[in-house]
Structure 1
Amino acid sequence: MSGPGLDDRVRAVVDSGRCSGCGACTLLDDGLSMRLTPEGYLRPERVGASTATNDAPAAFDRACPGRVVRAQRPDGSRRHPILGPVAGCWEAAATDPELRLRGSSGGVLTALSSWLVANGEAVATLGAAADRDEPRRTVPVVIRSRREALDAAGSRYAPVAVASHPAALDPAAATVGKPCEIAALRALASSEPAPLLLSFFCAGTPSARSTDAMLDQLGVDEPLDDLWYRGRGWPGRFTARGRSGREWSASYDESWGGTLGPTVQWRCKICPDGVGESSDITAGDFWRSDERGYPVFTETDGFSALVARTPRGLDVVQRAVEAGVLTVRPIDPDEVAGVQPLQRNRRTTLAGRLTGARLAGARLPRYRGFGLVRLSLSTARTSVRTARGTFRRVRAGAADGS
């Protein structure tokens, strides 16, 4: 027996291409579970009897990123048009050289995950890591030690539903998740103590099939012992290690730019928040850039852009610095936006993309408070071209990731 109205709401989001695969809806009903579709994306499926309460549909309407995403304006922060709320902004890196090396940029989230557990501020940190049995897939993991934080270090450019884990709303824990997951958890926790929420700059979720395609291109011909997409250097290489110890790898530009990135799902391409503004703390790459302002992917020591968004997040960062966990240099948020062209361009042209998709008949989430129309005025010509291109693709039936 399905929950009162919940199944219909979930199905409408999935069928219209608005699902991000965050998994938060499964927290409302134990009979829902996240499953990979044939296209390689995570989507909720009913696998058992419903446990949904009568208020589950309203909670879903409030929290599902496929229905609504709200810009955040927490007390103690100022709002940046690209980065969202900012209470503090730094160039940062983990002081522990192994944590920094393993991390995708400066190892900041890995260092915080380890430190929060070690000093007793969190009973655990929830994150994502390679599936031990099948490393080409990614699963939520609970981190309770430095060793487990190291094992989970590095970006995972693959579907994972951290917000589906039962610990995702544990107020005694910390959760590291994609921006959509953190937005959903923030909304669900609005009436109760929330875990410390950490996020990262996100370019979108590729299909799991693109990881398989990458392995095929590299000629991987044996079961895997490990697979990492980045880290172990900055930006790091896509690397697969077979059970024999043999390794295959490709550069970040080859893997993300050539194979993984082109399969990012449709919902991510209409995302207003790739910078995790619903979090307490967000980290991302603080790229070195060329004369055009575009990132340079030469291997070097990693640096993170670190943004505290709430007083709670600011307090955590300041104490982590005092404890010697992080080394930081204050920077202007404009510096971060300047070396994140994807996030900058996506937000400033999103109004055009949404207009084109809507005119073509696509059903879209509601985005509240982002000022997208105002931002589009700074890139009017590009926004118009984006609207036209999106209109053509959606009309051609390509609102599934193109």
Structure 2
Amino acid sequence: MELDQGQLRPRRTGPPPARVDARRFRAVCPGVHVDAARPVGSRRHATLGPVVGSWRAWATDPEIRRSGSSGGVLTALASWLTESGEAVRVVGAAAAPDPRRTMSVTITDRTSALRAAGSRYAPVATAAAPAVLAQGSAVVAKPCEASALRALSGSQGPLLMSFFCAGTPNQAATDGLVTDLGLPATAPLARLRYRGHGWPGRFVATAQDGTEVDASYHDSWGKALGPTVQWRCKICPDGVGEASDITAGDLWTSDERGYPVFSESPGVSALVARTERGADVIRRAVAAGVLVAEPVDPETVAAVQPLHRRRRATLLGRLAGARLAGRRTPRYRGFGLTRLALAEWRDTVRTARGSFSRVRAVRRSTG
């Protein structure tokens, strides 16, 4: 996987194999199709997907909680799984030697878990790491990667942990934001974090000479990074990590309109168990004193995730508009998109028209 115009794309590095199993590829690639997850023992929520249990949670370790994007629960679980021997390794993502970039990493203890703490709003191919399917691995990956790994390995594969994801911004957005904030494009960086050290935390880039620039979460994600997410992310049926065993996200407080309030406070995560395996890990982590977890109704979690509610409710319109304009799209099954679209039919029609116009304009401009 290599950067191509700011996003990761596959590149052949050797001769093609004598036989290509195209059927298997189509069965696991989320760029071709995605089936909604329906693990045994779960109940299905229209926005959140399969739910075995849901909690309001945070790490008991103050440093992990502060370093994480919200309550630090995935960092705490990665640390506990490896240090307790529950997992040999956790494969995740962290800053590369050039902190403007992001790379897959192997977590083996609390120290390496802390180095990987916090969101990375940039391209990274965690699912391409060699150790993801190795014996004793657990994985923290984007929802699309979790979907591919689940389809590839089944229920007996690695413990899969994911997070609420609004899409992968273009790498150029990170580079441009650092420059716009005042650091030259050629300035070597010592550190770059997108969030954390508070909730939601600030985007902070630190040059090797100690010069530091920063931006609020609203300005960094909302104005610079979010608008550059790639097309596939905009038609994603699963930004909530349905195929994982455990999913974490922000459990924001909301205003009177139901939209998140981004005032700084101690981080709190929404924690969702998708499978009985995931629920068992969470309960044992709580019993071990790794997490504080208070049961919360799934509706409370969904209520403070307006982007995911709206994207799923109007996705059928976006897909229909794109297909009518001549663009191929993946096939999705089991997400109830027709039912959701009918319930929001006015917004669905508007979305279809907008998608048709944008796709047609792009196709015309590119010949």
With normalisation by structure 1, the TM-score equals 0.88
Aligned twin of 2:180: 217
Aligned equivalents of 1:207 and 1:399: distance in 2? 23
Separation of aligned partners in 2, 1:138 and 1:91: 29
Deviations 1:9-47 (A, max 9, x none): xxxxxxxxxxxxxxxxxxxxxxxxx1101x200000112
Q: Give the whole-Å Cα distance in 1 for the aligned partners of 2:364 and 2:45.
A: 30
The alpha-carbon deviation at position 349 of structure 1 amounts to: 0.6
How far apart, CA to CA, are the structure 2 residues paired with 1:314 and 1:65? 25
Q: Does 1:49 align with 2:15?
A: yes
Give 1:94-173 correspondences, 5 Å limit.
94-132=59-97, 134-173=98-137
Match of 1:204 in 2: 167
Q: 1:276 to 1:110 in 2, by over 3 A?
A: same
Which whole-Å CA distance do the structure 1 matches of 2:13 and 2:191 have between them? 30
Aligned to 2:219: 254
In structure 2, the CA distance between the partners of 1:77 and 1:157, relative to structure 1 (3 Å rule), is: same
Q: Determine the C-alpha separation between the residues in 2 that align with 1:223 and 1:398.
A: 38
Which segments of 5 or more consecutive residues in structure 2 lack a partner in the other structure? none
Q: Distance in 2 between matches of 1:172 and 1:165?
A: 14
Deviation, structure 1 residue 325: 0.4
Look up the match of 2:3.
Answer: 36
SS at the partner of 2:99? Answer: coil
Whether 2:186 is the aligned partner of 1:239: answer: no
Root mean square deviation of aligned Cα: 1.4
* Aligned twin of 1:370: 335
After TM superposition, give the deviation of residue 171 of structure 1 in Å: 3.6
Look up the match of 1:4.
none
**Residue in 2 that maps onto 1:19:** none
Structure 1, unpaired ranges of 5+: 1-33
CA 1:136–1:67 in 2, change beyond 3 Å: closer, same or farther? same
Please give the alpha-carbon distance, in whole angstroms, between the structure 1 residues aligned to 2:354 and 2:272: 33
Which letter does structure 2 place at the counterpart of 1:156? R
Q: CA deviation at 1:57?
A: 2.1
Look up the match of 2:325. Answer: 360
Q: Give distance in 2, aligned partners of 1:175 and 1:54.
A: 29
Residue 273 of structure 1: which of 216, 228, 238 is its match? 238
Whole-Å Cα distance in 2 between the matches of residues 399 and 282 of structure 1? 40
In structure 2, give the amino acid aligned to 1:45: R
Matched, 1:326 2:308: no
The letter of the residue matching 1:201 is F
Letter of the structure 1 residue corresponding to residue 103 of structure 2:
V
For residues 329-381 of structure 1, give each alpha carbon's deviation from its aligned partner in whole angstroms, at most 9, with x where no partner exists: 10110101100001111000101111111111110101010010101122111
Correspondence for 1:86 = 51
Q: Does 1:60 find its partner at 2:25? A: yes
Aligned partners of 2:364, 2:256: CA distance in 1, in Å?
Answer: 35
Q: How many aligned positions are there?
A: 363
- Aligned-pair identity in percent equals 63
CA distance in 2, matches of 1:361, 1:372: 21
Tell me the distance in 1 between the aligned counterparts of 2:163 and 2:63: 20
The DSSP-based 3-state class of the residue aligned with 1:347 is: helix
Counterpart among 314, 327, 338 of residue 279 in structure 2: 314
Structure-2 residue corresponding to 1:5: none
Q: 1:207 to 1:161 in 2, by over 3 A?
A: same
Please tell me whether residue 285 in structure 1 is matched to residue 250 in structure 2.
yes
The alpha-carbon distance between structure 1 residues 248 and 265, as it changes in their structure 2 partners (threshold 3 A), is: same
Residue 18 of structure 1 corresponds to which residue in structure 2? none
What SS does structure 1 have at the residue aligned with 2:339? helix
Q: Which amino acid aligns with 1:196?
A: L
Partner of 1:181: 145
- Opposite residue 2 of structure 2, the aligned amino acid is R
Aligned partners of 1:53 and 1:321: how far apart in 2? Answer: 50
Q: Does 1:75 pair with 2:29?
A: no
Deviation of 1:49 after TM superposition, in Å, equals 2.5
Residue 193 of structure 1 deviates from its aligned partner by: 3.2
> 1:55: how far off?
5.7
TM-superposed CA distance for 1:172, in Å, is 0.9
